[in-house]
């Protein structure tokens, strides 16, 4: 990646940020009138521009955050740009839909202005993913990036906006707050001019979104079991699990927390996992790693997304060169047993279940342990076993004979490709699906009398009426112009000069990061 020279961060001005919200309102009102053909041209342009820079942003994200795998982040950036565009190529969120059978007509209505919170674990791909969902549904979007990844996210958001504008989108359809602080974030979340909050991050931030008073879509934490049944193809299961757990150093919330292995195949599975670069620790090594990974029972956030060999070395353990995953033999599953919890690094629990009943009990216990509503995986070739497993676990997506990381996220399955995983009622989330464009649009339904003798007219050839006046950019004392090349909104003529980053602002940013890291330690991210 080319060297990036950062300018001193300007103290965020709440009034300036609210100007961005107002500009987004104008952009949303204008964009809501665009026909589908124009919308899809804009989405295609954004996807192409994002994919072209996938590698650069992958390198930048790893450099800025200090964790993850460049090659895997590049893949996620491509999946969340061209991959997302291809998945929704036939979707239509702009035209009305007529159903003569039910005598109804449905007219799409965009949410309006979306305020999107993005995480440090999946920074740039979340920018691409949420921006494309917003553009598909004719919404404007304002981003608040995680402070640990704010530079790469800000640049990516501006790339998206430039591409969208060049393809005909209204000015400022995608915006980002360069230096978010808790007071600014809370002010925007509570603003009556925000129509929807799309929150991806730690539990504290998601809870804040839900308590803002505005409609919000948030997600819950995962603690995903991967059960390997006696009917499984053991070699294929081992490869799928190892590749999934190693993917982007295990920072996807859909990654496996532990393997639950049926006793009938446990030896073969351990051997196959070893062939896939997994190293099984001894009980003594496990205990030493537990103290290092969970000091005082709290997750050591300095190890998030670090390579397995780096983690082992930092714990004073010797492992074979080329080790991708540290396998940890579990004595049991429980809230008070840290190694059976979510681990956002390539450390994978390994639990032997004497029977299928015991395996299902262990999987249910893991899900109860801060993973309700999220994801699970099962490797089995008996559909009856798959059906029972799926019925008994309180999760809302189950990957079958495929890695959980990219399977539950919809990249290796036909689930919707997503960087935001709804956990539904089980996980205290408002949505139980992988979040897609359908969650960012509402439909006004025209309903005719269902009596057989009541006429239902033909709507063929009719177009939705244009608004009486096309929305115009507000004018007045506030300066709504933005310098997208320089990276910050231009200053109103009567605004004071910007000051360098002061100690109070540093303290606010530090407090936000610490709150997020405390959630990660507690397994709530």
Shortest CA distance to 31 belongs to which of 130, 143, 154, 113?
113
> SS3 for 141?
strand
Residue pair 293/300 in contact by the 8 Å Cβ criterion: yes
Nearest to 432 by CA among 407, 398, 387: 398
Beta bridge partners of 108: 443
309: tokens are 């060999």
- Rg (alpha carbons) of the chain, rounded to whole number: 24
- Each as own residue / partner, the long-range contacts of residues 272-275 (CB below 8 Å, 24 or more positions apart, any chain) are 272/234, 272/235, 272/237, 272/238, 272/239, 273/238, 273/241, 273/242, 273/325, 273/327, 273/350, 275/238
| C-alpha closest to that of 403 among 240, 187, 199 | 240
Sheet with strand 97-99: strands edge to edge? 97-99, 104-110, 441-447
The Cα 473–Cα 480 span in angstroms is 8
Helices (H), 331-457: 356-368, 383-392, 404-408
Are 142 and 188 spatial neighbours (Cβ–Cβ below 8 Å)?
yes
CA distance 13 to 150: 17
Residues 87-118: b if buried by 16+ CB within 10 A, e if exposed: bbeebebbebebeeeebbbbebebbbbbbbbb
**Region of residue 224 (left: phi > 0; alpha: psi -120 to 50; beta: else):** beta
Catalytic residues: 253
**H helical segments located in 79-199:** 84-87, 123-136, 150-166, 182-190
- CA torsion sign for 160, 161, 164, 166 is negative
Strand order through the sheet with 196-199:
174-176, 140-144, 113-117, 196-199, 216-217
Residues 328 and 319 sit within 8 Å (Cβ to Cβ)? no
Three-state DSSP state, 301: helix
CB atoms within 10 A of CB 387: 10
């Amino acid at each position: 990646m080319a060297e990036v020279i950062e300018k001193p961060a300007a103290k965020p001005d709440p009034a300036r940020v609210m100007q961005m919200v107002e500009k987004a309102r104008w952009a949303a009102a204008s964009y809501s009138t665009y026909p589908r053909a124009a919308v899809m041209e804009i989405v295609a342009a954004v996807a192409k521009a994002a994919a072209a820079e996938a590698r650069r942003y992958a390198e930048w994200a790893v450099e800025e955050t200090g964790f993850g795998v460049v090659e895997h982040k590049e893949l996620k950036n491509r999946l969340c740009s061209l991959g997302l565009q291809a998945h929704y190529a036939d979707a239509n969120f702009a035209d009305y839909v007529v159903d003569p059978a039910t005598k109804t007509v449905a007219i799409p209505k965009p949410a309006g202005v979306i305020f999107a919170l993005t995480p440090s674990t999946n920074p740039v791909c979340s920018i691409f993913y949420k921006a494309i969902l917003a553009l598909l549904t004719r919404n404007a979007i304002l981003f608040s990036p995680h402070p640990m990844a704010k530079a790469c996210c800000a640049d990516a958001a501006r790339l998206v906006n430039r591409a969208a504008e060049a393809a005909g989108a209204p000015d400022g359809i995608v915006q980002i707050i360069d230096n978010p602080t808790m007071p600014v974030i809370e002010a925007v979340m509570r603003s009556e001019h925000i129509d929807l909050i799309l929150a991806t991050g730690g539990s504290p931030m998601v809870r804040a979104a839900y308590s803002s008073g505005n409609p919000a879509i948030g997600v819950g934490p995962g603690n995903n079991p991967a059960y390997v049944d006696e009917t499984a193809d053991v070699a294929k299961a081992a490869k799928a699990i190892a590749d999934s757990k190693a993917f982007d150093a295990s920072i996807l919330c859909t990654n496996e927390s532990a393997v639950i292995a049926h006793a009938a195949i446990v030896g073969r599975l351990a051997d196959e996992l070893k062939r896939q670069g997994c190293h099984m620790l001894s009980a003594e090594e496990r205990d030493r790693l537990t103290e290092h990974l969970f000091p005082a029972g709290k997750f050591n956030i300095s190890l998030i997304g670090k390579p397995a060999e780096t983690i082992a070395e930092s714990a004073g353990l010797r492992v074979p060169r080329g080790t991708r995953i540290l396998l940890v033999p579990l004595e049991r599953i429980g809230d008070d047993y840290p190694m059976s919890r979510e681990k956002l690094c390539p450390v994978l629990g390994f639990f032997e279940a004497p029977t299928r009943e015991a395996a299902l009990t262990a999987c249910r216990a893991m899900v109860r342990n801060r993973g309700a509503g999220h994801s699970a995986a099962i490797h089995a070739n008996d559909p009856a076993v798959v059906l029972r497993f799926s019925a008994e676990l309180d999760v809302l997506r189950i990957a079958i004979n495929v890695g959980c990381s990219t399977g539950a996220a919809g990249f290796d399955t036909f689930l919707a490709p997503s960087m935001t995983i709804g956990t539904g009622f089980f996980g205290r989330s408002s949505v139980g699906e992988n979040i897609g464009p359908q969650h960012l649009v509402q439909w006004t339904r025209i309903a005719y009398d269902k009596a057989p003798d009541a006429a239902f007219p033909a709507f063929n050839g009719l177009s939705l009426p244009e608004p009486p006046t096309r929305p115009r950019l507000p004018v007045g004392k506030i300066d709504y112009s933005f310098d997208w090349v320089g990276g910050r909104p231009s200053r109103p003529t009567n605004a004071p000069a910007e000051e360098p980053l002061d100690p109070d602002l540093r303290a606010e940013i530090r407090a936000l990061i610490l709150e997020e890291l405390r959630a990660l330690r507690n397994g709530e991210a």
